Amino acid sequence: MVKKHINKKLFITIIALVLFGLLMVYSASNVVALYKYNDKAYFLKRQLIFAIIGIAIMIVIINIDLRKIYKATTFIYVIALIMLILVLIPGIGIIRGGARSWIGIGSFSIQPSEFMKLAIILLIAKYLSNNYKDLKKPLEFIKVLALIVIAFGLIMLQPDFGTGLVLVLSSILLLFCAGAPLKYFLILLGMGVVGIIVLIISAPYRLARILAFLDPWSDPLGSGFQSIQSLFAIAPSGLFGLGYNNSMQKHFFLPEPQNDFIFAIVCEEFGLVGGLVVIGVFAYIVIESIKIALHVDNKYLKFLALGIGLSLFTQVFINIGVVIGLLPVTGITLPILSYGGSSLVLTLMFLGIIINISQYTEEVKK
């Protein structure tokens, strides 16, 4: 394969989205940060560190020989599995919000489940590049499915249903696009419905979230509180919103506004127009990822770009769906915009791979 030019337009869009994300993290968090840490920029400073790290890693990945990642795929998957196991060990894993999902490093922490999302896409892309025609064989399909189930199972032990859901859905979508028989997915759908019912029954808070989704006003101060406050942020914002840093809901109405519900603050401050622009930017990145996948000849790079695009689409769709009340609360961040170092670094790693692959496409956006 011969290298051409990277997709500069995509690169600039990503950097602009990172900068906008930093502005939104500050706007959404400064009231809470002042109250908790006596520092309005507390969350911004931490997010800025991870943004710098993430951009640096992205630039390295853009210039790396992807054959090295291909050869190291199994190793990356095994390391991600080990991290998921370590996080479950008391004294190593850190519990936040009832989930043991983080490993502490000094004053910072990382979320191993985020990096498993990358590892599983790398692994499936490698498998498909050599064996995608074998997906029609039940045993081969089960082999790939087993790798996904193992990762999902470890993530659910934390538990982190949101990240696990993104991992499973994006992986299944990739296998579907690769040409696996429809009947396999119908069987999986049936098993998935049963599994979701079991998960809901096994954890009462999940049932509360479902009921809150159906009727948030049935428990306005409990399970429905976050959804109601999110809608209160969006509904009165109009076309252009209240203006930057003028959100009312961040004043202790919407819990942790810098995290999963940051899109509600975007809509409150920038209105319908601002929300649509953000959705449009994400749509552009996903569409470019798919176009890059279609225009590259190498099967590994094709499936890798497609998998990353599908993973990003899945996470954005679920997050925004939750914020606007179309889906139950799942605890999924909005890539790049939400506060969270692991999510930001992982997403920039994803996008670094996409931009690297763009060098090998037949049609290059300069």
Q: Does residue 363 register a pLDDT over 60?
A: no
In a domain, 335, yes or no: yes
Tell me what the pLDDT averaged over the chain comes to: 87
Range of the domain at 150: 8-358
User: Is 130 exposed, middle or buried, given 0-12, 13-18 or 19+ CB atoms closer than 10 A?
Assistant: exposed
Residue 365 pLDDT grade (very low, low, confident, very high; cuts 50, 70, 90): very low
The more confident residue out of 219 and 51 is 51
Q: Kindly state the DSSP code that residue 90 receives in the 8-state scheme.
A: B
Widest Cα–Cα separation across the chain: 60
Task: Tell me the pLDDT band of 366, cut-offs 50, 70 and 90.
Answer: very low
Domain-embedded: residue 3: no
How much is the pTM? 0.90
Domain membership flag for residue 210: yes
How many CA atoms within 13 Å lie on the side-chain side of 190? 5
Residue 363 lies in a domain: no
Does residue 352 register a pLDDT over 60?
Answer: yes
> What pLDDT, on the 0 to 100 scale, is given for residue 362?
66
Q: Look at residue 81 and tell me if it is in a domain.
A: yes
In angstroms, the CA 287 to CA 218 distance is: 39
Mean pLDDT of 145-160: 89
| Contact yes or no for 168/148 (Cβ under 8 A) | yes
Higher pLDDT, 111 or 223: 111
Residue 366 lies in a domain: no
Q: Is residue 1 part of a domain?
A: no
pLDDT of residue 3: 61
Q: At residue 109, does pLDDT exceed 80?
A: no
Q: Examine the pLDDT at 269 and tell me if it is beyond 90.
A: yes
Task: Determine, yes or no, domain membership for 74.
Answer: yes
pLDDT tens per residue across span 116-133: 999 999 999 999 988 877
pLDDT of 211 strictly over 70: no
- How many domains is the chain built from? 1
